[in-house]
């Protein structure tokens, strides 16, 4: 449901050479979907260069597998500023 809610928001603002990305991630329980709160109020979407977005998604998938995270298991994300080109 999270991916479906994020995709609906993304279709409204599609641009070439960019992927629409959402936070919190659609793959998490905190994603865009909630039966109680509108998706626009629950998550943030923005355009991200395709290469950067797909690379980050690949790293996220690697992290989940490497840490052997199970559905519903908690984890913490610490945002950091990028240094240099991405």
> What is the token pair recorded at 71?
């559905």
The predicted structure's pLDDT at residue 36: 67
Helix (H) or strand (E) holding 69: none
Q: What is the arithmetic mean of pLDDT over 8-24? A: 74
Write down the H helix ranges in the chain: 2-11, 39-42, 50-66
Say if CB 34 and CB 4 are below 8 A apart: no
Say whether pTM exceeds 0.85: no
More confident site: 54 or 38: 54
Q: How confident is the model at residue 43 (pLDDT cuts 50, 70, 90)?
A: confident
């Amino acid at each position: 449901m999270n991916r479906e809610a994020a995709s609906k928001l993304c279709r409204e603002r599609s641009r070439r050479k960019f992927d629409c990305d959402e936070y919190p991630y659609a793959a998490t329980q905190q994603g865009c979907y909630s039966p109680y709160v509108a998706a626009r109020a629950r998550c943030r979407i923005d355009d991200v260069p395709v290469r950067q977005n797909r690379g980050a998604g690949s790293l996220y998938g690697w992290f989940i597998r490497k840490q052997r995270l199970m559905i519903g298991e908690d984890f913490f994300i610490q945002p950091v500023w990028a240094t240099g080109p991405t």
